[in-house]
Chain A
């Protein structure tokens, strides 16, 4: 779960880390009574806010007002700006630093990153050799102040920095550890002329897999990108929420294309959609089911996937399952398909293998004959990605007929 800047800063404050004086607003009338000069910051979950003009330094009241008016309610990358953070603009700065703690896949543990050259993109820092100091944390030993002092010394900090920044770094570790974060980043940490340190930004990502032990952390559930889930995305999530047998629905993402997809298995789904996209097919959604879900769940998911307008095809695709019951899942698919009005006339390509797939295919052929669907059925003898070609070609044919 990505936190908004103001939420991340709340965590920093709890650890005694200073942030610029500011207020969070959700209506333009709240924008009065801010200290000038101010910085107006749209609260969205995507990075690069500066480049997208979502962060506006303001010298006067009227500049603040017009910035707030311009930003509030604006849609950017399918996120609506609902909150704005207005902060005191720290211009008397003597230094801008970078610090973060995250997981490193190469060391397979937490890693502390520090740079004296903060305030720029990390990507740019990475390019400049030696500009970032890195400290591996052994999870068995945890993080201790001497480690903070050591990496700070290595990064070229001295004097007053030692005491202040050791405390800040320990605070960042506490947040990382206590809240099961995958990332805590302050960039920049601003040093002012009076030798105070302020976190001017905060990027925090919490581990979704650990939310079960976080109790009431007080952050609203959200889409990874900060988008409002669409109606069908919310409905699809419900399918999994109320029934823990297997998974179906929670990974549903609505897309712009015209080929409805009900894919199986995380890895296999990716392989298949890659093939479809490479051939010019346009997915109407992403969704994946796995772990032997019952027919009811697939039925519900099918209804959601196929309720999308202007579909020109449907692809039920998966590898050879290890233990998912194919008769069960395809029965659910057929039940869902039957409830779609008007009855889908578009091509439906099915490729699957695994337990009871032959029984399932027999059932499908009977349904096709009696109810007149346009099924294209393939078993494990047909490479699953080659059915992407069948899908794309039959969609084109169908579209040609309906012109």
Chain B
């Protein structure tokens, strides 16, 4: 048992014929993920790696009503429209790869998804993987087995690259993962740490959780609040980057759109303080995470 993605995941890829869409389809198929259909308006009737492409989500769902997940690899100019189409058809899980979506568009789709009770992960998400079962997106690249192995640690990461790196560090020290989720580093995202921690709490396969956080926003603080309210009771180890980000004058946008220092909140020290106060172990470097997990799991 994993969260979000597993053996029963049946995927639609929106933006299937684009570069990112094609790459994701090929990688997902080779990992054994069931990719049933693609959508690219105007390219209906084509195929990508043997996967049929449709003009509309409705057509794809008519042909494959069992689709339960959409992976969105549509350029930012059209991403809102594509996601609204998926939400309107109540596809329960929508994972958005698209980077640099306008914040107004993200706020709109997040509100619409809430209304329709659909889960969005992303935008700017590298993907989701439940090792040994299935993956969405480019997470782990062509060779996910290098970084990921089945196990009982859940991982939630704002950074796409670090979701693989953290998993690799865990794997090297004998910790496999139940599910690894790249939530994206934007200041508004469809699923926050806390949103997914609720799922990990119920997931019997997950014994402990690793969080990779960054400066900016309030999602790490909300995670701490959830633990405080007993909404999450399993051990948690976390790494929060941002020493350097906070050295440069505020207003500078670094690699991630979300890594912006907001006035008076979202600083690295605030996040670490909030998490430590509810018993989360903070790693100085990502490679300390396995040691911390060993400590908390022994208890």
Binary interface encoding of chain A residues 329-368 relative to chain B, with 1 for a CB under 8 A from any of its CBs, else 0: 0000000000000000000000001110000000000000
Q: State which size class the interface on A falls in.
A: 35 or more
CB of A32 within 8 A of chain B? no
Do the beta carbons of B141 and A323 come within 8 Å of each other?
Answer: yes
CB of A123 within 8 A of chain B? yes
Cβ contact of A180, chosen from B77, B102, B169, B255, cutoff 8 A: B102
CB of A140 within 8 A of chain B? yes
Check A224/B159 contact, CB under 8 A, given A103-B187, A123-B264.
no
Q: Which residues of the partner chain A approach B245 to less than 8 Å between Cβ atoms?
A: 270
Give, as a whole number of angstroms, the nearest-CB distance from A259 to chain B: 12
CB of B253 within 8 A of chain A? yes
Give, as a whole number of angstroms, the nearest-CB distance from B279 to chain A: 22
Do the beta carbons of A270 and B244 come within 8 Å of each other?
Answer: yes
Q: Which residues of the partner chain A approach B108 to less than 8 Å between Cβ atoms?
A: 139-140
User: Contact residues of B with A, CB < 8 Å?
Assistant: 23, 76-77, 100-105, 107-108, 110-112, 115, 126, 138-143, 146-147, 157-162, 164-165, 168-169, 172, 185, 187-189, 212, 214, 217-219, 222, 239, 241-245, 247-249, 251-257, 259, 263-264, 266, 285-287
Bound CA–CA A276/B266 (angstroms): 22
Do the beta carbons of B188 and A266 come within 8 Å of each other?
Answer: no
CB of A312 within 8 A of chain B? no
Give, as a whole number of angstroms, the nearest-CB distance from A292 to chain B: 9
Do the beta carbons of B185 and A266 come within 8 Å of each other?
Answer: yes
Q: Which residues of the partner chain B approach A217 to less than 8 Å between Cβ atoms?
A: none
Q: Which applies to chain B's interface (DSSP): helix, strand, loop or mixed?
A: loop
Q: Which residues of the partner chain A approach B143 to less than 8 Å between Cβ atoms?
A: 355
Give, as a whole number of angstroms, the nearest-CB distance from A26 to chain B: 23
Do the beta carbons of B107 and A270 come within 8 Å of each other?
Answer: no
Do the beta carbons of B285 and A270 come within 8 Å of each other?
Answer: no
Cβ contact of B107, chosen from A103, A123, A209, A318, cutoff 8 A: A103
Check A322/B141 contact, CB under 8 A, given A140-B111, A267-B255, A383-B287.
yes
Q: Which chain A residues (224-281) contact chain B, with CB distance < 8 Å? A: 224-225, 251, 253, 255, 264-271, 273-278
Bound CA–CA A286/B253 (angstroms): 11
User: Contact residues of A with B, CB < 8 Å?
Assistant: 2, 45-47, 77, 103, 105-106, 108-110, 122-123, 126, 138-140, 177, 180, 182, 207-210, 212-213, 224-225, 251, 253, 255, 264-271, 273-278, 283, 286, 288, 290, 318-323, 353-355, 380-381, 383-386
Closest chain A residue, CB of each to CB of B101:
A209
Do the beta carbons of A209 and B76 come within 8 Å of each other?
Answer: yes
Q: Which residues of the partner chain A approach B160 to less than 8 Å between Cβ atoms?
A: 265-267, 322
Q: Which residues of the partner chain A approach B142 to less than 8 Å between Cβ atoms?
A: 323, 355
Check A105/B241 contact, CB under 8 A, given A2-B251, A123-B263, A386-B287.
no
Give, as a whole number of angstroms, the nearest-CB distance from B167 to chain A: 9
Do the beta carbons of B110 and A109 come within 8 Å of each other?
Answer: yes
Do the beta carbons of B162 and A275 come within 8 Å of each other?
Answer: no
Do the beta carbons of B264 and A105 come within 8 Å of each other?
Answer: no
Cβ contact of B244, chosen from A126, A139, A273, cutoff 8 A: A273
Do the beta carbons of A224 and B286 come within 8 Å of each other?
Answer: no
Cβ contact of B102, chosen from A210, A264, A354, cutoff 8 A: A210
Bound CA–CA A251/B157 (angstroms): 21
Bound CA–CA A383/B173 (angstroms): 12
Check A277/B247 contact, CB under 8 A, given A103-B188, A322-B141.
yes
Bound CA–CA A140/B172 (angstroms): 46
Do the beta carbons of A77 and B162 come within 8 Å of each other?
Answer: no
